[in-house]
Amino acid sequence: MTAGLPHFAGIAAFDDWRSRPADWLPAALDIARAAGLPTADITTFTTGTNLVIGLGPTLILKIFPPLLRRQFIAERASLELLAGRLPLPVPELIAEGERDGWPWLAMTRLHGTLGFEIWPSLSEIAKERVLAEIGSTIAAVQAVPAGPIVALGPDWPDFIKRQVESCRARQIRLGLPERYHDELDALLMVAPTAIPLDINPVLLTGEYIPENFLLREHSDGWHLAGLFDFGDVFAGFGEYDLLGPSAFMTEGRAGRVRALFAGYGYGPDRIDDALAQRLLILTFLHRASDPMGKIAIPDWPSKARTLEELGRMMWPR
């Protein structure tokens, strides 16, 4: 008898169920066995969005609920597009299928240390090196034609329009101090002209953050070793993907910012007021925007009298 997978009316109910691997592991193992995948050495991953298990040292099985079918489509299309086209490994697709309306992918397992586990202990030199490699990786990903991802949507101008419309309410709900509200309104007014809309859209993950890459130590120190998790990929304006490292990793340190941008292909002359304004606006329009909780500059509201000052703190000249 095969183990079945339930259906959920909303993502909150799914997340609650996913948090208890004992509830879904039998079905995941049944999928693996039916596909002829190894099941003797299992690792369960409880972070992330979908059901993910390691099948021995070489494979990952990722199972997507019907509610998140777009993530399955985006992940599969991204891995097919990026295969062999980047300076570092991404998972290689091995098999795919569907059980009870839940699509799944089997892929190779990358090797290295999860970025968030080692990042805080790295030296400043190592952090700048890794940020430069992240910048060059973002540029390499964006150099790959994004055709199938463009077709998935959302359309970049429509995305910006919707984000602008919902931004103020979202930021107030997340605790943005009242003294910034008028300035936020002004930024949202200029967003349609400050953010390029008539563009050739490129591949965006929105999540170049320590949870989604691997590091390995070499004779000269730690280096970027792998990139994974492409379920939220869409297509749009390239600078959008500088936001994750800027929020979580640079901490407003000029050397780190320069390293990230140099890797991306931006010299010091590109770090100007116009760039800082674009990135600041995009910070508030990001899908996962939460400046109060996700900008790694300790207690930044006590240091930035205005949002313009926040921009100068995050991207110092």
pTM: 0.94
- From 108, 125, 152, the end of a domain falls on 108
pLDDT of 41 over the 70 cut: yes
Quick one: average pLDDT of 139-166? 97
Clarify whether residues 29 and 43 are in a common domain. yes
Which CATH number is 63's domain given?
Answer: 3.30.200.20
Which of 111, 118, 142, 129 has its CA nearest to residue 227? 111
Clarify whether residues 83 and 227 are in a common domain. no
Clarify whether residues 50 and 80 are in a common domain. yes
- Edge-to-edge strands, sheet with 93-99: 42-45, 51-55, 59-63, 102-108, 93-99
Question: What is the domain extent for residue 274?
Answer: 113-314
Clarify whether residues 310 and 202 are in a common domain. yes
**Count of domains forming the chain:** 2
Which CATH number is 169's domain given?
Answer: 3.90.1200.10
Residue 255 lies in a domain: yes
**Tens-digit pLDDT profile for residues 251-301:** 999 999 999 999 999 999 999 999 999 999 999 999 999 999 999 999 999
Q: Residue 207's pLDDT is what?
A: 87
Quick one: average pLDDT of 211-240? 96
Distance CA(294)–CA(247), nearest Å, equals 6
Q: Residue 2's pLDDT is what?
A: 66
Residue 3 lies in a domain: no
Clarify whether residues 58 and 169 are in a common domain. no
Residue 300 lies in a domain: yes
CA dihedral 259, 136, 196, 236 (to 10 degrees): -140
Residue 99 lies in a domain: yes
Q: Write the single-letter amino acid at 243.
A: L
- From 64, 87, 108, the end of a domain falls on 108
Residue 139 lies in a domain: yes
- From 54, 83, 108, the end of a domain falls on 108
Distance CA(225)–CA(242), nearest Å, equals 19
CA dihedral 79, 64, 152, 164 (to 10 degrees): -110
Residue 56 lies in a domain: yes
Q: Residue 46's pLDDT is what?
A: 78
Residue 246 lies in a domain: yes
Clarify whether residues 181 and 300 are in a common domain. yes
Clarify whether residues 139 and 79 are in a common domain. no
